Structure 1
Amino acid sequence: MKSSSLSLLLAAGLTFSLPLMAQNSAPQEGVNVGKMSIMRKIVPSGALEGQAAQQYTTTMQTAQQKRELAPDNHPQVIRLRAIAKKMIPFALPWNPRAKEWKWEVNLIASPQINAYCMPGGKIAFYTGILDTLKLTDDEVAIIMGHEIAHALREHGAERAGKSMAMNSAAKLLGLFAESKGYDGNMVAGIAGTAGNVAMLKFSREDETEGDIVGMDLAARSGYDPRAGVTLWQKMGVVNQKAPPKWLSTHPAGEDRIKEIRKHFPEVMPLYARAKGANLASLPPYRSNVKGIPDVN
């Protein structure tokens, strides 16, 4: 689930102090990730959503021309849209703009292990992620919730805002260095490189936030949030040659699982209520792949 697959989203950050996150505004129940970053306000969300809609349309048209766009009556399309239909109502309270979005869910025939939700609620899954990971409905919901969370939390606009701020700061630092007799271009370049390292951290933070909010959405919709553990265990098997953690835009799988487990106390009651079950009587979550242990 790579949010970076959406090419129009700019990912960057600053190594020095910026008002990135407002104080927490705790919900009455479920997870608490605080208010959205004020950096997203630098780039108008409406403009980003318009660009995303155009890119999504182009992607779907290209897939259709290549006969890679699954038809409406495809079993997996029906499955994905049914899951989305359950989740979207619980997504709306997270962002007032989401009520205006023209949500779409499509499936592209491709071996890529990927899925995304563009700004404006444009969702796409690739057959590779469904088939390779043998996803259960609960695991699909975890992925879909994660990708929807990126759109709801406006991570694209946030990253674009950070990128603009970083570039402006690097230029100003270069000008200041020139005024002191140093090589302004070199200093600006060093600042830019530092910013590129920082943007990986910001991206990992977005991914963690996506996991947490996604679990909340899945649980409220009646999908077991414990599937997040089995999902990343499956991903670990597939992705044996992962890059070092500090160079990755995603948290390492083990760290991701620890973070997911940490939020079980917040999301499991939501799931139990959605299922009309007693929390204490819920059975362990069982994977559909041999060798992956049950999750309590």
Structure 2
Amino acid sequence: MTHRYLTAFFALAVALLTVLASGCATNPVTGRQQLMLVSESQAISASLQAYGEMLEPIRQEGRLNNDPAVKARIDAITGRVVAQAIRYRPETSEWDWEMQVIDNPEVPNAFAMAGGKMAIYTGMIDKLEASDDELAQVIAHEVAHALSAHTAEKMSVSLATNLALTGYALTGERSAVAMSGAVLAAALAVQLPHSRQMEREADRVGIELAARAGYDPQAAPSLWEKMAGLGNGSPPQFLSTHPSTDSRIRDLREMARQMQPLYEEARAGTPPSHPI
């Protein structure tokens, strides 16, 4: 490698490290350091548009919220969980929290985007014969991803990877990072697997949100046991982005034990709800 190329390489490396360093932020829920080249507000804006574009063809096919009883059930659970999420982060009361129900009884799946834009497939109900407590675990897990700014983090990791691979000129200013394709990036973030760290955060925060909302934390390990039993040789779609292992189920059992007092306290009162 010539001196000229070495100089260019090191200049790029220094610039990239500068951007990465300046792009670190503190997780608003867990306190973990996150890479945030894409701000949460940018991720929310991109997710809002991507969410509408993703759901529009489903709406046109007549597969969105076509059972009022199911929609009411999901909204009731979501409202109680979101009320607890707002206690974690009061500023999220300004988010336009939204949960859509996609009619596909063969797909046990759910997802969340930045700003509380979420959807759940009816397969999560039909294939699992899920109780309200179990559905609350799914919903709370997704709410926890939104609450922890995981969409912005995944978009940031993808952006940093692209910057490293393409060698674009970098300024070190987060506000100067190009956001072209942000809507596509937000949509793709739904499909990309969460890191193990993100999953642990969503498990831990989600089970607490559900317990504080009055939903049995013991439903968390039972839900994942049901999910793990659906494979028939290949993992269900939900598990493809939310890996489930024996150790994870053991961890959830321990978390459930720790959350039991919060659940009992919530059951003794009337947990608040947020309109969905």
Instruction: Note whether the superposition's TM-score is higher than 0.5.
Output: yes
Alpha carbon RMSD of aligned pairs, Å? 2.8
Letter in 2 for 1:151: A
Seen in structure 2, the aligned counterparts of structure 1 residues 61 and 161 have a Cα distance that, compared at 3 Å, is closer
Unaligned runs of 5+ in 2: 1-16, 168-191, 270-276
> For the residues of structure 2 that align with 1:58 and 1:169, how far apart are their CA atoms?
29
Letter in 1 for 2:246: E
Task: Give the one of 207, 212, 225 matched to 1:220.
Answer: 212
> What's 1:82 paired with?
76
Deviation at 1:257, TM superposition (A): 0.6
Q: Provide TM-score, normalisation by structure 2.
A: 0.71
> What's 1:50 paired with?
45
Number of positions where the alignment pairs a residue of Structure 1 with one of Structure 2: 221
- 1:250-269 equivalence runs, <5 A: 250-269=242-261
Matched, 1:120 2:115: yes
> For the residues of structure 1 that align with 2:203 and 2:81, how far apart are their CA atoms?
15
Seen in structure 2, the aligned counterparts of structure 1 residues 46 and 170 have a Cα distance that, compared at 3 Å, is same
- 1:137-152 equivalence runs, <5 A: 137-152=132-147
> For the residues of structure 2 that align with 1:215 and 1:226, how far apart are their CA atoms?
9
> For the residues of structure 1 that align with 2:159 and 2:91, how far apart are their CA atoms?
23
SS in 1 for 2:65: coil
Deviation at 1:89, TM superposition (A): 1.3
- 1:181-220 equivalence runs, <5 A: 203-220=195-212
Deviation at 1:232, TM superposition (A): 1.0
> What's 1:285 paired with?
none
> For the residues of structure 1 that align with 2:251 and 2:25, how far apart are their CA atoms?
20
> For the residues of structure 2 that align with 1:156 and 1:255, how far apart are their CA atoms?
25
> What's 1:159 paired with?
154
Query: Any idea what the Cα deviations from partners look like across 1:206-252, whole Å, max 9, x if unmatched?
Result: 12211111100100000001101111111111024357xxxx65443
Query: Any idea what the Cα deviations from partners look like across 1:170-200, whole Å, max 9, x if unmatched?
Result: 567xxxxxxxxxxxxxxxxxxxxxxxxxx97
Deviation at 1:54, TM superposition (A): 1.5
SS in 2 for 1:263: helix
> What's 1:39 paired with?
35
Q: Provide TM-score, normalisation by structure 1.
A: 0.66
CA contact (8 A) 1:208 1:251 kept: no
SS in 1 for 2:58: helix
The alignment-based identity, stated in percent, is 36
> For the residues of structure 2 that align with 1:228 and 1:275, how far apart are their CA atoms?
17
Larger deviation: 81-90 or 97-106? 97-106
Letter in 2 for 1:99: S
